[in-house]
Amino acid sequence: MKKVLSIAGSDSGGGAGIQADLKTFAAFRVYGTTAITSVTAQNTVGVEGVYDLPPDFVALQIDAVMKDIGADAVKTGMLSNVEIVEAVCSKLKEYDVQNLVVDPVMVAKSGDTLLREDAINVIKEKLFPLAKVITPNLDEAKVLTGLKEINDEEGMKEAAKLLKEMGPQYVLVKGGHLTDDAVDLLYDGTKFYRYPAERIITRNTHGTGCTYSAAIAACLALGLSVPEAVERSKKFITTAIKYGLQIGKGHGPTHHFAELYGDAE
């Protein structure tokens, strides 16, 4: 069985972070392991508290997994602060991780900040060059590139080119925040790949980015190319959103097991 390590934060509401990643790995039939970076007190309405784990303990979790179980792919999510980012980068280089998916988590669905401002440059300078693919949404792409607006596919292409210069092999700019169809663009430095999907009107999108990036990591572990991994993962997340769960009073989670449970049409 293929193995995927998620280095990310814990969501007590179960819709995002480590919890969403493990559900996604199970849906793709890969074995999921974790290194928890932060513990959040969180639900569908908002983040009530964040406790960052000591960087050396984050590193110790990575060591424990990699020395015994190993990983065919790794994804990173919430990394919170400079010290955690640096500790994670050090371990990724130590274990020569090749299939790395970086989801540059900055803000929760509720609008709560999950990444300190001083960590952004460290992620760009030290983490992105290690990545096979990075998966920013439009808001994250604006922060990372300094672009004031990204309102259409041309803007997404401009952002992708700027992000590619930061060192990742592939850049996936997600268009979920566009007003028309939910089009994502993958850029390899030469060619753009386009992944359109219907826009689904729903509040239940909590954990969408975590789930999408975890799916890509699972597909890379299974041996798919990056364009193939994104294509398969795009279909998975679209179905998960379409059959999202009405849980809680805010943004409910996506349905990771819609097809397995027979809930998908």
Q: Which of 75, 91, 164, 174 is catalytic?
A: 174
Does 209 participate in catalysis according to the annotation?
Answer: yes
> What are the pLDDT digits (tens) for 158-186?
999 999 999 999 999 998 766 677 899 99
Q: Which of 9, 89, 145, 210 is catalytic?
A: 210
Please give the pLDDT value at position 116. 77
Please give the pLDDT value at position 179. 66
Q: Stretch 119-137: mean pLDDT, rounded?
A: 95
Q: Is the pLDDT of residue 109 over 70?
A: no
Q: Is the pLDDT of residue 63 over 90?
A: yes
Please give the pLDDT value at position 119. 86
Strand locations in the chain (E): 3-11, 31-42, 47-52, 73-76, 100-102, 133-134, 170-173, 184-187, 192-195
- Give the Å distances, CA to CA, from 149 to 28, 89, 158, 178, 218: 35, 30, 11, 11, 32
Q: Which of 208, 211, 239, 254 is catalytic?
A: 208
> What are the pLDDT digits (tens) for 209-260?
999 999 999 999 999 999 999 999 999 999 999 999 999 999 999 999 999 8
* Band (68; pLDDT cuts 50, 70, 90): very high
Q: Which of 207, 211, 234, 242 is catalytic?
A: 207
Q: Which of 209, 238, 244, 254 is catalytic?
A: 209
* Band (265; pLDDT cuts 50, 70, 90): confident
Please give the pLDDT value at position 263. 87
Q: Is the pLDDT of residue 112 over 80?
A: no
Q: Is the pLDDT of residue 132 over 90?
A: yes
* Band (115; pLDDT cuts 50, 70, 90): confident
Please give the pLDDT value at position 223. 98
The residue written with tokens 């060591």 in the block is: 63
From the number of C-beta atoms within 10 Å of its C-beta (0-12, 13-18, 19+), residue 51 rates as exposed
**C-alpha angle with apex 238: 29 to 32, nearest 5 degrees?**
25
Please give the pLDDT value at position 181. 77
Q: Which of 24, 33, 34, 205 is catalytic?
A: 205
Please give the pLDDT value at position 101. 98
Q: What CA–CA distance (Å, rounded) separates 71 from 115?
A: 25
Share of residues in the chain with pLDDT > 70 (%): 96
Please give the pLDDT value at position 108. 59
Please give the pLDDT value at position 107. 67
Q: Residue 175 corresponds to which tokens in the numbers above?
A: 């268009």
Amino acid at 136: P
Domains in the chain (CATH in brackets) are: 3-242 (3.40.1190.20)
Q: What CA–CA distance (Å, rounded) separates 145 from 166?
A: 10
Does 76 participate in catalysis according to the annotation?
Answer: no
Q: Return mean pLDDT, the chain.
A: 94
